[in-house]
């Protein structure tokens, strides 16, 4: 009763809309037309103001805006959604090959739109063929749609498993279209498309011979190339992506203990698992009669299921029936093996009671990969496997310890579990075929039907496309602008994608020689890559946990190679007493474990878009800063051991003094530089911020990077001078000595080029700072109001990620003002500033030209890592040389006294890091 009274009281307080007057105006009813009054009120509005009345809130305004807006209201024009049947009635299945070609090219273009960031519901699923594959009976369209569906699902699964969800956030939520939908296995789809390609080509040749029309042959070849396009992509994913990711429901193995089975046979094994307890009981009681009856029950049940399944559709293929019968035979064999293994367990237990077992040598403790020392690898099969359930539900860990003399090899056959390894050689061949296929599509896309006014638009002029076809799958979020490429743009996009896949297949195996090669390749690869190829690179590099390329090598080995060749810490030198010190070895292992985690964090960031890369790099910067603590502990212990063994009198006499700490600092500087480099790629910095941004990049980052490179050079030279092999005159050692000297020369030549490169970057940064001051003083770059305090806040915000690193990388605004002399630059004569900047650019240009000569002289012998590192160094040189030369020309022109000219900073599109000065009228 109290609730009813409260409801009545609330109802009395609500004003009657028919009697209420707002603002002196009559109330508005549903039948009133308020357009004139509304536009009259809008005429007096300013930017940012809204028309409103009491009890009409902002949320109501947004709802009113969304209604009947095609991009906001998914219900607009949804009363007549196209279906597959309506598309067929419009002529989808007619033998119109130009139209078929246009439909296939439009679907490929929609695939590009999806990979570029739009949702499936607004791109691919607008093609009703893709969401109704099982209802299609057109041979060519069925094979094309089935292949495209499988390709989309595999790419979707790849990106989800790699973890690049930030790239396409709302689209990579669970898709109801994928859930509970079974697709034809990949191999069957590829064979189906290959057969259809042969039929289409044969038909084209037939009609060409009959009619003499070359166009028929061209169009049939073009249609076949679209099927070949999907087939090659599926084959590439099959050789580069682990089956558990690439094909989650078909064509991969299931691991059950020591048994590996096909997924299609899993149901038969489940049947065997249901009687596992009965078999175990019968085996323990040695009652094989009961076990045999159980086996017969399983076989009978499988046969009944076969008959039941065949009764529904009498035209099923015989091979499916044979597959199920084979599954029953596997169950029979499996049950018998379990019985025998349990019987052998009892014999082994009795034997163990009489004679204790000795531990084999293969179970001795060894240091994990990435540690200081690695003993010989354990032989396969010697280590006792972990307890794991076998296919019948029993545990068979003890059965594996039975002496080999008591076991008949024919009775105990275990299928070896093979770890997936990407096949880069085959992927390279497929990528080359894919490139040729894309080139053929680029030359033949014009043979397809043209759109109205020769515009492709959203392809709704084609029979199977409807923008609202899958309106239920459009993400429930604020809609983004869907950019659908034209057929010409899409095929060029795929041509570039094919080249990136070729780069992955050729360069990825060679990029794991050291950690620098890994990062240089991934860094340059990610700038012009898409979410598909970024994910492909990640899964190729780490298909199984932290093992590189699916091999036994972990991420620790490239790190150790870079550390040992560049900085030679005593803990890795066999002749050093630190090498055998247990405390130092433990500290080194701790350091390596943390370093591996940091490197994996950094490398995984290359799979994300640029924004997410910066976010993850901030975490990597903090992790590297914490690694300095572990490196410091190792350096302290190294000094203690070296002093205690009288190898040195002072710790500074150690040829590799603070080598590990320098290695960490070197990598930290590289990550920080890349962090700010991403900011320029994302256009985050404005010209009035250039003075302190390039002060940090030139005076702090580049100079300290120069110091670490020179320190590496010094360590390597001093170590070789102190090495006994360098002074050996023994003829037997001359060959090894010569090899070591050649390797040292290569490394030193590469370091010298990097040193010149860093010096040039320092000079360019100084010139940019001075020219930025000139532009500000000439009024061509406006500084926002707020004075020095506002500039301090902007400075602290830009370098906020470095605040926890400590000196010398934690920079303050006062430090910037003091070391850069920025205040004095604002007082100096402008002509002197221009002349000084010109000198800086000239010095950078001269250094880069020396570097070019060194590269040409040592092109064949200088580099010890990968071809991609050479490519990156040459690209970096050419870009910096182009920028230094352009700025040198501009400053020389200004020195001549040019007046009344407009000056502004510009960036090259392929290298938007260092700006060049543009002078115009």
Read off the pLDDT of residues 398-447 as tens digits, 9 standing for 90 and up. 434 444 444 444 444 444 456 788 999 999 999 999 999 999 999 999 99
From 552, 630, 643, select the one nearest 586 (Cα to Cα): 630
Cis-peptide, bond into residue 468, ω within 30° of zero: no
The predicted model gives 754-767 an average pLDDT of 92
Residue pLDDT, tens place only, 765-782:
999 999 999 999 988 999
- Here the tokens at position 334 are 């499996």
CB 128 within 8 A of CB 87: yes
- pLDDT higher for 701 or 722? 701
Q: Classify each residue of 215-237 as buried b or exposed e, where b means 16 or more C-beta atoms within 10 Å of its C-beta.
A: ebbbbbbbbbbbbbbbbbbbbbb
**Model confidence band, residue 634 (pLDDT cutoffs 50, 70, 90):** very high
Residue whose structure tokens are 């994608």? 497
Please say whether the beta carbons of 813 and 718 come within 8 A.
no
Contacts of 677 (CB under 8 A, 6+ apart): 913
**Residue 685 DSSP SS3:** coil
Distances (CA, A) of 492 to 102, 140, 435: 16, 24, 11
pLDDT of residue 61: 63
pLDDT at 363: 29
Q: Which of 212-221, 611-620, 898-907 has the lowest mean pLDDT?
A: 898-907
Q: What percent of the chain has pLDDT over 70?
A: 69
Burial (CB count <10 Å: 0-12, 13-18, 19+), residue 197: buried
Residue 22 DSSP SS3? strand
Q: Which of 86, 55, 433, 415 is nearest to 235 (CA)?
A: 433
Parallel/antiparallel/unpaired status of strands 902-908 and 253-256? unpaired
pLDDT at 31: 54
Q: Is the pLDDT of residue 25 over 60?
A: no
pLDDT in tens, 336-347: 554 455 555 555
Contact assessment for residue 904 and residue 772, using Cβ atoms and an 8 Å cutoff? no
Token pair in block for residue 770: 């001075």
- Residue scoring higher pLDDT (919 or 341): 919
pLDDT computed for residue 345 by the predictor: 59
Q: Are 555 and 596 in contact (CB under 8 A)?
A: yes
Supply φ then ψ for residue 858, to 5 degrees: -120, 25
The pLDDT assigned to 729 comes to 83
Instruction: Give the whole-angstrom CA distance, residue 160 versus residue 708.
Output: 39
> pLDDT of 80-120, one tens digit each?
788 999 999 999 999 899 999 999 999 999 999 999 888 88
Q: Which pLDDT band, with edges at 50, 70 and 90, does 633 fall under?
A: very high
User: Which position has the higher pLDDT, 56 or 22?
Assistant: 56
C-beta separation of 305 from 324 below 8 A: yes
User: Could you give the CA distance from residue 271 to residue 303 in angstroms, rounded to a whole number?
Assistant: 12
Is the pLDDT assigned to residue 534 strictly greater than 80? yes
Q: pLDDT band at residue 208, thresholds of 50, 70 and 90? A: confident
Per-residue pLDDT at 337: 54
DSSP for 464-523? TB-TTTTGGGS-SSPPPP--PPPHHHHHHHHHHHHHHHHHHHHHTGGGGSSHHHHHHHHH
pLDDT above 80 (res 666): yes
Domain ranges within the chain, ordered by starting residue: 84-246+448-484, 522-684, 705-920
* Mean of pLDDT values over 657-664: 93
- Distance CA(885)–CA(538), nearest Å, equals 37
What is d(CA 481, CA 484) in angstroms, rounded to the nearest whole number?
9
According to the model, what pLDDT value does residue 352 have? 52
Distance set, CA 603 to CA 521, 533, 597, 620 (Å): 11, 15, 10, 10
Of the listed ranges 152-161, 373-382, 442-451, the least confidently predicted one is 373-382
* Residue 229: pLDDT over 90: yes
DSSP class of residue 899 equals -
**Tens-place pLDDT, residues 37-47:** 878 878 888 88
pLDDT for the residue 318: 41
């Amino acid at each position: 009763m109290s609730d009813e009274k409260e409801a009545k009281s609330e109802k009395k307080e609500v004003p009657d809309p028919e009697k209420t007057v707002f603002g002196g105006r009559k109330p508005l009813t549903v039948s009133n037309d308020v357009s004139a009054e509304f536009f009259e009120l809008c005429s007096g509005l300013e930017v940012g103001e809204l028309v409103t009345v009491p009890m009409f809130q902002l949320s109501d305004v947004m709802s009113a805006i969304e209604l009947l807006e095609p991009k906001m209201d998914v219900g607009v024009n949804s009363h007549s959604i196209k279906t597959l049947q309506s598309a067929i009635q419009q002529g989808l299945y007619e033998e119109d090959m130009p139209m078929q070609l246009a439909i296939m090219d439009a679907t490929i273009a929609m695939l590009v739109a999806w990979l570029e960031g739009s949702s499936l519901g607004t791109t691919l699923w607008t093609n009703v063929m893709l969401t109704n594959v099982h209802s299609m009976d057109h041979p060519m369209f069925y094979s094309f749609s089935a292949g495209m569906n499988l390709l989309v699902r595999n790419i979707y699964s790849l990106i989800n498993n790699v973890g690049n969800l930030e790239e396409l956030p709302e689209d990579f939520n669970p898709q109801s279209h994928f859930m509970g939908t079974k697709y034809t296995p990949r191999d069957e789809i590829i064979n189906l498309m290959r057969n259809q390609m042969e039929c289409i080509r044969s038909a084209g040749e037939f009609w060409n011979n009959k009619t003499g029309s070359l166009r028929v042959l061209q169009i049939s070849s073009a249609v076949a190339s679209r099927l070949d396009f999907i087939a090659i992509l599926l084959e590439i994913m099959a050789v580069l992506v682990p089956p558990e990711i690439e094909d989650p429901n078909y064509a991969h193995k299931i691991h059950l203990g020591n048994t590996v089975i096909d997924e299609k046979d899993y149901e038969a094994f489940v049947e065997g698992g249901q009687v596992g307890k009965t078999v175990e009981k019968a085996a323990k009681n040695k009652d094989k009669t009961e076990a045999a009856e159980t086996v017969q029950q399983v076989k009978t049940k499988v046969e009944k299921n076969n008959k039941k399944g065949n009764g529904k559709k009498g035209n099923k293929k015989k091979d499916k029936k044979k597959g199920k019968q084979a599954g029953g035979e596997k169950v029979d064999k499996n049950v018998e093996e379990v019985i025998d293994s349990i019987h052998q367990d009892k014999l082994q237990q009795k034997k163990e009671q009489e004679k204790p077992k000795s531990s084999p040598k293969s179970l001795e403790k060894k240091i994990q990969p990435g540690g200081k020392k690695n003993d010989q690898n354990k032989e396969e099969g010697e280590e006792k496997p972990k307890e794991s359930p076998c296919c019948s539900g029993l545990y068979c860990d003890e059965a594996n310890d039975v002496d080999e003399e008591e076991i008949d090899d024919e009775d105990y056959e275990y299928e070896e579990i093979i770890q997936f390894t990407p096949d880069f050689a085959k992927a390279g061949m497929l990528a080359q075929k894919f490139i040729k296929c894309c080139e053929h599509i680029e030359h033949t896309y014009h043979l397809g039907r043209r759109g109205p006014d020769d515009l492709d638009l959203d392809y709704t002029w084609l029979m199977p496309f409807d923008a609202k076809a899958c309106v239920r799958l459009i993400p429930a979020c604020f809609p983004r602008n869907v950019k659908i490429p034209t057929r010409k743009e899409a095929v060029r996009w795929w041509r570039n994608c094919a080249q990136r896949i070729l780069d992955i297949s050729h360069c990825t195996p060679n990029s794991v020689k050291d950690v620098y090669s890994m990062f240089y390749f991934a860094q340059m690869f990610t700038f012009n890559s898409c979410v598909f190829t970024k994910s492909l690179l990640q899964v190729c590099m780490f298909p199984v946990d932290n093992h590189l390329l699916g091999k036994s090598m972990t991420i620790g080995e490239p790190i150790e190679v870079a550390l040992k060749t560049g900085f030679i810490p005593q803990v890795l030198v066999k002749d050093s007493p630190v090498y055998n010190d247990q405390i130092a070895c433990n500290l080194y292992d701790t350091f390596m474990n943390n370093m591996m985690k940091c490197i994996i964090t950094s490398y995984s960031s290359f799979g994300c878009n640029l924004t997410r890369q910066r976010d993850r790099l901030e975490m990597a910067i903090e992790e590297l800063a914490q690694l300095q603590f572990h490196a410091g502990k190792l350096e302290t212990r190294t000094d203690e051991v070296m002093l205690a063994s009288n190898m040195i009198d002072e710790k500074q006499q150690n040829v590799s003094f603070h080598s590990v700490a320098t290695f960490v600092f070197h990598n930290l500087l590289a990550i920080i530089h890349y962090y700010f480099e991403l900011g320029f790629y994302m256009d985050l910095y404005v010209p009035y911020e250039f003075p302190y941004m390039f002060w940090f990049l030139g005076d702090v980052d580049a100079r300290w990077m120069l110091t670490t490179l020179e320190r590496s050079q010094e360590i390597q030279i001093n170590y070789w001078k102190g090495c006994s092999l360098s002074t050996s005159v023994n003829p037997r050692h001359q060959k090894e000595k010569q090899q070591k000297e050649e390797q040292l020369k290569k490394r030193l030549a590469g370091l010298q080029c990097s040193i010149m490169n860093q010096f040039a970057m320092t000079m360019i940064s100084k010139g940019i700072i001075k020219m930025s001051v000139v532009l500000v003083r000439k009024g061509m770059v406006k500084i926002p109001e707020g004075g020095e305090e506002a500039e301090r806040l902007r400075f602290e915000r830009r370098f906020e990620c470095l605040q926890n690193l400590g000196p010398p990388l934690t920079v303050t605004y006062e430090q910037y003002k003091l070391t850069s002399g920025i205040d004095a630059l604002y007082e100096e004569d402008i002509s002197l500033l221009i002349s000084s900047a010109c000198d800086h650019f000239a010095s950078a240009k001269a250094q880069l030209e020396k570097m070019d000569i060194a590269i040409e002289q040592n092109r064949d012998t200088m580099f010890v890592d990968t071809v991609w590192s050479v490519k990156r160094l040459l690209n970096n040189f050419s870009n910096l040389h182009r920028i230094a030369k352009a700025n040198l020309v501009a400053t020389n022109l200004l020195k001549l006294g040019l007046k009344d000219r407009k000056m502004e900073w510009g960036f090259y599109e392929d290298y938007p890091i260092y700006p060049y000065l543009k002078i115009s009228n």
